[in-house]
Amino acid sequence: SPRRLFSGRGISPGLGLGSGLGLGLGLGFGLGQGFIAMLRLGLGLGLGLLLLSPCDGFGRVGLRPLRLARGALRMSEDDLSDDELLAALRAEKQATQDNWQLSQLKTWHVADDWRGSTQVFLPNDDGAWKAADSFSSSSAFTINRPAGSPQELVVTEQNDAAGADVPARLLDPTVAKLTPALLRAAAGYQAVAKGYSFWSGGDAAAMDAPPADEVMLEVGIAVEDARVRLKALYAPVPEAPHKLTAFAIVRERRNGGDAAVWEGDAAFDGATGKGLYDPPSVSGEGADISLYEKRLTLRLPTVGGSQIGAVSLDWTADTMRYQVDRKFRELAGGLTSVELVEISAADAEIHPPDW
């Protein structure tokens, strides 16, 4: 059956106190102490874990001081107010979510040897889209840990595109650097399991984002050592805030070698895509295009502005089928969600989405 995954996840606080209580009661019982002694030892260990440990096993920063609940144990005369406590807990949960987002990119996308090919698409004079130049390309998603600063995702790209008919901006990374605090829907950057979405433009919050009027959107899916990315470039025009001017499909493998030709590759070579498995709802009649390539279907808006829109990429990678969606109400800027669907290719033929 299909799985539908959304960006976002949270972890409840109190693990340090609970662990300390359990350890203290266990030690006290083993040493033959009475119940009161065991309780004191457990509380002491629990509070010590909360106060002295900078973070727990989930990478969550400890709070100092912390009131656990109304009427519960107080740890300081300078106790937090209810509003302050709520704000601190929200900040703690947000930090957990930010780090979880980065962990998804680490699991599926961080590598310094993605190599493959880039296929560029440009509009004809009649408005139809055509496949233009194709060339070898490589990219790296790496983690940098500056001294005294949060770790950051660093993206680099290289292309053998000399003489190719392609906008220069499309050859650059959508974003060059991202910290965990930017991996939020409001900022426009999100990851969920194997999928992710970035953007850049004049309002982009990402570090080293180009201060340009152009907007670039990117979605990607990685499966084991194979990956597909869709990059779409929008430019300002008189009749609309932005208009689609070019897009590219990037097919990559870890340590892929000279993989500009994918003949016989189970992830990239095969039948034409069959459409989106779970088409998202969008507004605007005729305001998007669909393209069917080998093992791929993509759909993206042709104009910007305020709309219920989505950039979607459907990929049948060998025996599994995946779809990633960047959903938004404004082309440039924040998004409403990044969603990933995964289902076996065989089941996708007989089981429609049931959510």
Closest Cα to residue 199, out of 168, 228, 234?
A: 234
Give the pTM.
0.77
Max mean pLDDT range (39-53, 75-89, 128-142, 281-295): 128-142
* Per-residue model confidence as pLDDT tens digits over 242-274: 899 999 999 999 987 655 567 788 899 989 999
Alpha-helical segments (H) within 196-344? none
DSSP class per residue in 245-280? EEEEEEEEEET--S-S--TT-TTTSSSBP---SSPP
> Does position 139 have pLDDT exceeding 90, yes or no?
yes
211 falls in which pLDDT band (50, 70, 90)? Answer: confident
Note every long-range contact of 329-332, with CB atoms under 8 Å and residues 24 or more positions apart, other chains counting. Answer: 330/304, 330/305, 330/306, 331/215, 331/217, 331/234, 331/241, 331/242, 331/301, 331/303, 331/304, 331/305, 331/307, 332/199, 332/201, 332/202, 332/203, 332/215, 332/234, 332/241, 332/242, 332/304
* Per-residue model confidence as pLDDT tens digits over 337-349: 999 999 999 999 9
List 119's β-bridge partners, or say none: 134, 249
Q: What is the DSSP letter of 283?
A: -
Q: Kindly state the percentage of the chain with pLDDT values over 70.
A: 77
Closest Cα to residue 244, out of 337, 164, 129?
A: 129
Q: What pLDDT shows up at residue 38?
A: 54
> Does position 29 have pLDDT exceeding 70, yes or no?
no
ω into residue 353 within 30 of 0, thus cis? no
CA distance 4 to 319: 18
CA distance 35 to 186: 50
Q: What pLDDT shows up at residue 310?
A: 95
